[in-house]
Chains A and B, each alone.
Chain A
């Protein structure tokens, strides 16, 4: 590894319950950055031994240069889809960082600015499937931060979407983008 500064690193944590697809969302975000946006990205994860339930999180570091430490030190962005995730990780968001929560899943909020988006409700309303919440979350995250381009995230999602689910995922992503535009007004 060559010694190049990576002070440009952006640290993103996506957290929820096991089975919500947050790790996959992290992988897709990293692919959007590294494959479609010509940036560097490293993705790590932690999860319990269960296939579903339990706390689950993905971490993505995005930078223009080399990425050494692969984990979040202090998050620039946290998107929390469960109360446990918010309780556990909110304190580790930078003071000027972004905390995004699913407003229907997270009731107790920390004493700091929080962006509340009905992620799981949007998923259900848009596609009829709760499992698209991770795609909606990516739309919200990218819409708010611009950390990767909208084209890059769409390409990354399409590359991963199982055959026949492309349209559903595109709609879910779009719902995330739109939710942010509504927030802005």
Chain B
């Protein structure tokens, strides 16, 4: 493909197509609408389906249903819509239905400011739906990463049979930069393989660390889907000897695969006693601050998180062992900083926050580095 000036949101749409997404249901909301626009245009050409639903509750329900029916599916939204999706997001986690939810974060709470940027949904992405559940959230920094991480989101959701959130923001979603996308033939979408016969198949087989593949409905495989705790074929259960293995398997399904799920970019400087831990659009401000600081002879390391959930515990903890303080800039009042503090202790963490819809400036981060 040739070089094109492309928005992050467009790249997400293209990434979905490259990853094999053939069903989109959503309700338009700024600043995510371009994702729906591009897929409404492109999906029908590929025999896929685009449905504008009556709201975000229905959108989330529709993508779950579509995936059960055999199509890889996605929705895109922003704060208010993401709040409405929480109930069914929990359903997808409980019933282990792969799907991708794009949240282009805007300033909240509530209607907030539709065209203003934010990273205010970090904790909501992890804990917005009730009950203990596993969650993956990916945070792109560039337009190209918006494409790559969308593909990755689909592949992880299929491999681990779990909803995956692409947690981007208004800056990266609306920003245009030149990109050259890879040829789609070079992308290998993850496809689940059902080895069992319909007779031996158990949709929720509880073998520790095992992710049982999901057989699409209507092809001879019989199982039940419910938001209630269920046995290995999906029927509701209150038996502890069925609930406990489920809890063990589902809440630890990522444990042996963290290397594959957790993506970080390290730019460490020998002897640095200050580090920045950053993600999303703010990583671009941090990169600018880092360059200026180094030009001034300061030693600073930087860890950019492309996966924020599951939290990169090992990476942040080991960074904490090397430095005296960690600066965590965010377009919120301090959310991912809580996780960094959990790993390295509160005293080592310096928060830099801005939650009024504007980017954290490089100067704000530079002040923290020099302060």
Question: Which residues does A use to contact B, with CB under 8 Å?
Answer: 1, 3, 5-6, 27, 30-31, 34-35, 40-49, 67-71, 73
User: Cβ of A1 and Cβ of B5 under 8 Å apart?
Assistant: no
4 more A-B contacts (CB under 8 A) besides A30-B176, A40-B178?
A34-B3, A41-B177, A47-B115, A68-B285
Contact A69 B176, CB 8 Å, known A3-B267, A48-B115: no
Residues of A within 8 A of B116 (CB): 46
Bound-state Cα–Cα, A48 to B30, Å: 11
Taken residue by residue from 1 to 29, chain B's Cβ proximity to chain A (1 for < 8 Å, 0 otherwise) reads as 00111000000000000000000000000
User: Cβ of B359 and Cβ of A43 under 8 Å apart?
Assistant: no
Q: Which residue of A lies closest to B179 (CB)?
A: A34
User: Cβ of B287 and Cβ of A35 under 8 Å apart?
Assistant: no
Taken residue by residue from 277 to 291, chain B's Cβ proximity to chain A (1 for < 8 Å, 0 otherwise) reads as 000010011011011
Cβ of B215 under 8 Å from chain A: no
State which of B114, B281, B287 has its C-beta within 8 Å of the C-beta of A1: B287
Cβ of B77 under 8 Å from chain A: no
What is the CB-to-nearest-CB distance from A12 to chain B, in angstroms, rounded to a whole number? 14
Taken residue by residue from 171 to 192, chain B's Cβ proximity to chain A (1 for < 8 Å, 0 otherwise) reads as 1001111100000000000000
Bound-state Cα–Cα, A40 to B176, Å: 11
Residues of B within 8 A of A46 (CB): 115-116
Bound-state Cα–Cα, A150 to B171, Å: 29
What is the CB-to-nearest-CB distance from B360 to chain A, in angstroms, rounded to a whole number? 10
User: Cβ of A69 and Cβ of B5 under 8 Å apart?
Assistant: no
- Which of B171, B174, B359 has the most chain A CB within a 10 Å cutoff? B174
Q: List 20 A-B contacts (CB under 8 A).
A: A1-B141, A1-B287, A3-B267, A3-B291, A6-B291, A34-B3, A35-B5, A40-B178, A41-B177, A41-B178, A42-B175, A43-B177, A45-B174, A67-B177, A69-B284, A69-B359, A69-B362, A70-B177, A73-B361, A73-B363
What is the CB-to-nearest-CB distance from B177 to chain A, in angstroms, rounded to a whole number? 5
Q: Which residue of A lies closest to B363 (CB)?
A: A73
User: Cβ of B175 and Cβ of A70 under 8 Å apart?
Assistant: yes
Question: Which residues does B use to contact A, with CB under 8 Å?
Answer: 3-5, 30, 114-116, 141-142, 171, 174-178, 265, 267, 281, 284-285, 287-288, 290-291, 294-295, 304, 359, 361-363
Residues of B within 8 A of A49 (CB): 30, 114-115
Number of A-B residue pairs having CB atoms within 8 Å of each other in the complex: 75
Bound-state Cα–Cα, A150 to B363, Å: 34
User: Cβ of A44 and Cβ of B175 under 8 Å apart?
Assistant: yes
Contact A31 B5, CB 8 Å, known A42-B176, A69-B362: yes
What is the CB-to-nearest-CB distance from B121 to chain A, in angstroms, rounded to a whole number? 20
What is the CB-to-nearest-CB distance from B287 to chain A, in angstroms, rounded to a whole number? 4
User: Cβ of B285 and Cβ of A44 under 8 Å apart?
Assistant: no
User: Cβ of A68 and Cβ of B284 under 8 Å apart?
Assistant: yes
Bound-state Cα–Cα, A70 to B361, Å: 10
Contact A70 B3, CB 8 Å, known A1-B265, A1-B287, A41-B178: no
What is the CB-to-nearest-CB distance from B223 to chain A, in angstroms, rounded to a whole number? 45
Bound-state Cα–Cα, A68 to B115, Å: 21
User: Cβ of B178 and Cβ of A34 under 8 Å apart?
Assistant: yes
- Which of A45, A69, A71, A73 has the most chain B CB within a 10 Å cutoff? A69
Bound-state Cα–Cα, A73 to B360, Å: 11
User: Cβ of B3 and Cβ of A27 under 8 Å apart?
Assistant: no
State which of B5, B171, B363 has its C-beta within 8 Å of the C-beta of A44: B171
Residues of A within 8 A of B114 (CB): 49
State which of B115, B171, B174, B362 has its C-beta within 8 Å of the C-beta of A73: B362
Bound-state Cα–Cα, A72 to B369, Å: 21
Bound-state Cα–Cα, A1 to B144, Å: 11
